[in-house]
Amino acid sequence: MAVGGGGGGGGANEFQPHPIKEQLPGVDFCVSSTPNWPEAILVGFQHYLVMIGTIVIISTIIVPLMGGGNVEKAEVINTFLFVAGINTLLETSFGARLPVVTTASYAFLIPGHFYCLVEQRFKQSMRAVQGALIVSSFVQMIFGFFGFWRIFARFLSPLAAVPFVTLTGLGLFSLGFPQYVPSIISSKRVAFHRFAVLLSIVIVWVYAEILTAAGAYDRRPVATQTSCRTDRSGLISAARWIKVPYPFQWGRPTFNAGEAFAMMGSAFVAIVESTGVYIAASRYGSATHVPPSVLSRGVGWQGIGTLLFGIFGAGSGATASVENAGLLGLTRVGSRRVIQIAAGFMLFFSVLGKFGAVLASIPLPIVAALFCVLFAYVAAAGLALLQYCNLNSFRLKFILGFSLFMGLSVPQYFNEYLLISDHGPVHTRSIWFNDFVQVIFSSPATVAAIVAFLLDSTFSRGHSSTHRDSGRHWWEKFRYYHQDVRSEEFYALPYKLNRFFPSF
């Protein structure tokens, strides 16, 4: 495996490649360890700040389309936070048991023809979405609890995982761009990278407050003022002081077969994207590769999360948060307990609506800039899987390059077609079928996963080197749960629960 040629007086070691690491070195706190309580609380609060950005963006998109105003948006945000807190506790305790936040998924926004009916009022629209979410949640539960996703994961190689984990991080690359701060303020203190999100939000938010008070946005377009001013969100005045979200708060869900089928496509996309997040989170939590049974278990509990979103009327389904997985890499704290603390903040601020609305009124450009940094960490986690592969293989080069290209170009084509023509490339009389295809092929991670998995499973499978070139032999020890003792340390349920929820 040596690379490099002769010549020079250097030792042989300088020509050796970097060794493969099954667990990422340099992580300060792994999945099963916990920082001291003050530090854990602050890092957990950062995870809360990051995930609330996703909640606000999704609520800002769907509530006006449903005919709601600021009051409805504030209630939807609080409902999202409340159910996301419950789902995160369930996922970290019973599901994949990885340090991931369960949040709302953008994939459920695409099959939204029933969001936009002018004749419908907000509650009627929300009831239709609830019914579709409840039905689609069973897709995730069936894939997970019946072991279908475990079968897929057992045949997944590092090569096939690279494109879709990478594009899980690049899937929302259009949100904005980060501001680079040079090394003038660099320091060896841990606080500057451990609490970078908290410090950045405070500094930029104060700056935005000053610009707003000084009238810098007074003569700007309405869209700019809505995004950049700190007094235009309308959430603080609209939110209630105290309210506990409850099931079916908008009324009885309505069920429509076409809408449910469209949402099933979104549920499948959420499964694929969550799998990419699980793999990235296991790396940044300094854990070993996630066993297929654990991935399947996590997907099953994600289905329960989507069911709860539907029952409570949040407006979107559940997925593992990409941005929070990126925050694991930024802070180097991959602790499961920290994520559970973040879930506590979600529940607390969802009930105390006024306090939660203050934090939810963060200007969206700040959130977008943060996301670009955090998504980059997830994309890098996918590229890091190339260490298991033979990069000198022409078969690997084709599969990798083709799947990445298709994962970026196909969704771009579908999205642009929808923007120009007001319907997708697939335009039949069955609206649910059109939406189903649109949501599948609008997801970069899903397209890349399908292409990479099929090519890796079929292309030149007869060659003796194919198995090793794809890196499958590195993950074989994790193919079955009990083949590596470290799996028990990171992914096992508590002893008493193992009697009721044994690993597949």
Q: Which helix (H) or strand (E) holds 102?
A: strand 102-104
Most confident segment among 1-10, 211-220, 318-327:
318-327
Residue 31 forms part of a structural domain: yes
Has residue 424 got a pLDDT over 60?
yes
Q: Does pTM surpass 0.85?
A: yes
CA–CA separation, 349 and 359 (whole Å): 9
Q: What is the pLDDT of residue 242?
A: 87
d(CA 504, CA 493): 12
**What is the per-residue pLDDT across 50-64, written as a single tens digit (0 to 9) for each?**
999 889 888 888 888
DSSP state of 185: G
444-458 and 257-284 helices, crossing angle to 10°: 70
Residue 455 amino acid letter: L
Cβ contact 503:297 at 8 Å: yes
Q: List, in sequence order, every residue forming a beta bridge with 390; answer none if it has no partner.
A: none
Domain that holds residue 394: 23-179+187-472
Say yes or no to pLDDT of 10 above 60: no
d(CA 130, CA 63): 14
Pick 189 or 384 by higher pLDDT. Answer: 384
Q: Write down the residue that tokens 């019914």 correspond to.
A: 131
Which candidate, 463, 104, 478, 146, places its Cα nearest to that of 310? 104
User: Cα separation of 76 and 57, whole Å?
Assistant: 12
DSSP 395-420: HHHHHHHHHHHHHHHHHHHHHHHHHH
> Which one is predicted more confidently, 476 or 422?
476
CA 141 to the chain's CA centroid: 18
Q: What angle separates helix 196-213 from helix 322-331, to the nearest 10 degrees?
A: 110
Q: Reduce the DSSP state of residue 147 to 3 states and report it.
A: coil
431 — pLDDT class (breaks 50, 70, 90): confident
Share of the chain above pLDDT 70, in %: 87
Q: Is residue 13 part of a domain?
A: no
pLDDT, greater one: 179 or 191: 191
In a domain, 458, yes or no: yes
- Paired strand residues for 318: 104
Does 4 map to a domain? no
If you compute the radius of gyration of the chain from its CA atoms, what whole number of angstroms results?
23
Q: Mean pLDDT in the chain?
A: 85
* Number of structural domains found in the chain: 1
Element (H, E) at 319: strand 318-320
Residue 171 reports pLDDT greater than 80: no
Which residues make beta-bridge pairs with 102? 320
Q: Is residue 484 part of a domain?
A: no
For residue 210, pLDDT beyond 70: yes
Section 320-336 average pLDDT: 93
Backbone φ, ψ for residue 103 (5° rounding) = -130, -170
Task: Give residue 232's pLDDT.
Answer: 65
pLDDT (0 to 100) of residue 466: 75
How high is the pLDDT of residue 291? 94
In a domain, 38, yes or no: yes
pLDDT tens digits for range 227-264 = 777 776 677 777 788 889 999 999 899 998 888 888 99
**477 falls within a domain:** no
Within 10 angstroms of residue 350's Cβ, the number of other Cβ atoms is: 24
What does the block give as tokens for 60? Answer: 């800002």
Tokens of 411: 């969704």
The tens digit of pLDDT for each residue in 116-129 reads: 554 458 888 899 89
Question: Which residues contact residue 486 at a Cβ distance below 8 angstroms, ignoring those fewer than 6 apart?
Answer: 287, 288
Contact 150, 308 (CB under 8 A): no
Establish if 83 belongs to a structural domain: yes
pLDDT at 187 over 70: no
